[in-house]
């Protein structure tokens, strides 16, 4: 593959990495916030022992789980992109020798 194409792919891949990292930071912040909210709801449910507070806790716990799954998927995508970047860099360094 010509070096210009590899450079273009590397640039595009780097942009995607930056975007995915920003998404991961956002998901981390959301997860931390929702996790705190779920913990608070759990404590409230334990103290109040009402069905409404238990449903609130369950809902909050589900939100934390969903955000955690999304975060895991985004982290996997980031790993794939970084692996692709390494391969492109290896490809470029192999040609420059």
By the 10 Å C-beta count (0-12 exposed, 13-18 middle, 19+ buried), 57 is classed as: buried
Q: What is the pLDDT of residue 95?
A: 63
Q: What is the pLDDT of residue 11?
A: 96
Q: What is the pLDDT of residue 34?
A: 96
CATH class of the domain comprising 3-91: mainly alpha
Predicted confidence pLDDT, tens digits, the chain (97 residues): 678 899 999 999 999 999 999 999 999 999 999 999 999 999 999 999 999 999 999 999 999 999 999 999 999 999 999 999 999 999 888 865 4
CA distances to 21, 36, 75 from 17, rounded to whole Å, are 6, 28, 11
Q: What is the pLDDT of residue 92?
A: 85
Domain ranges of the chain: 3-91
């Amino acid at each position: 593959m010509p070096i210009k194409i590899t450079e273009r792919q590397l640039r595009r891949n780097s942009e995607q990495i930056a975007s995915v990292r920003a998404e991961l930071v956002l998901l981390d912040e959301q997860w931390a916030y929702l996790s705190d909210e779920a913990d608070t709801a759990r404590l409230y449910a334990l103290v109040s022992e009402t069905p409404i507070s238990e449903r609130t806790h369950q809902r909050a716990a589900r939100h934390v789980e969903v955000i955690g799954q999304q975060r895991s998927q985004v982290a996997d995508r980031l790993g794939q992109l970084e692996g692709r970047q390494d391969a492109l860099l290896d490809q470029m360094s192999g040609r420059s020798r």
